[in-house]
Amino acid sequence: MPYLAFNTNVEIPDAKAESLLKALSAGLAKGTGKPESVVQVELSGGGRMLMNKTAEPTAYMDVKAIGLPEAAARDTSALLTEIAVRELGVPANRVYIAFASYQGAMWGVNGTTFS
C-alpha cells in the first residue's frame, strides 16, 4: 500500500522508465519496510518545474502509506533521493519529498479498505 508519485523536469526516455520504476519500487519497499508486492509507483518526467528560480534538474516525490513511522520516512527519503541522484542526475538539494501516513480504514483496495 505504499504509493509514490515521482515528478521531475528531467526527460525520462522510455528505455529507462521501466528500470527507474523498478528501482523506485524497491527503494520504497525497503525504506517503508513493506513488501514490494503492495507498492505502487507513478512516474512523470519532463514536466515544467522550477526550484530556487531555476529550471535546472529537480524532483518532487509524494509518498503515502499506512502507518508510516518517522524513522521510515527518513530512511525512505535517503533511498529515494539517492535513486534520483544516481539515475537522473538530480542534485540531492533539489529533491523534495512529502510524506503522508494514513490509517488502514482510509486506504481502499479491492473494493474495501485495509481496516
Please determine, for residue 64, whether its predicted confidence score (pLDDT) is greater than 90. Answer: yes
Whole-number pLDDT of residue 27: 97
For residue range 18-41, list pLDDT tens digits in order: 999 999 999 999 999 999 999 999
Whole-number pLDDT of residue 115: 85
- Predicted TM-score (pTM) of the model is 0.94
Please determine, for residue 51, whether its predicted confidence score (pLDDT) is greater than 90. Answer: yes
Q: Residue 66 is placed in which grid cell? A: 499506512
Confidence of residue 68 (pLDDT cuts 50, 70, 90): very high
Residue 48 identity: R
Please determine, for residue 47, whether its predicted confidence score (pLDDT) is greater than 90. Answer: yes
Q: How far is CA 47 from CA 10, 41, 57, 90, in A?
A: 7, 17, 10, 14
Whole-number pLDDT of residue 97: 98
The proportion of the chain whose per-residue pLDDT surpasses 70, expressed as a percent, equals 100
Which domains are present in the chain? Answer: 3-113 (3.30.429.10)
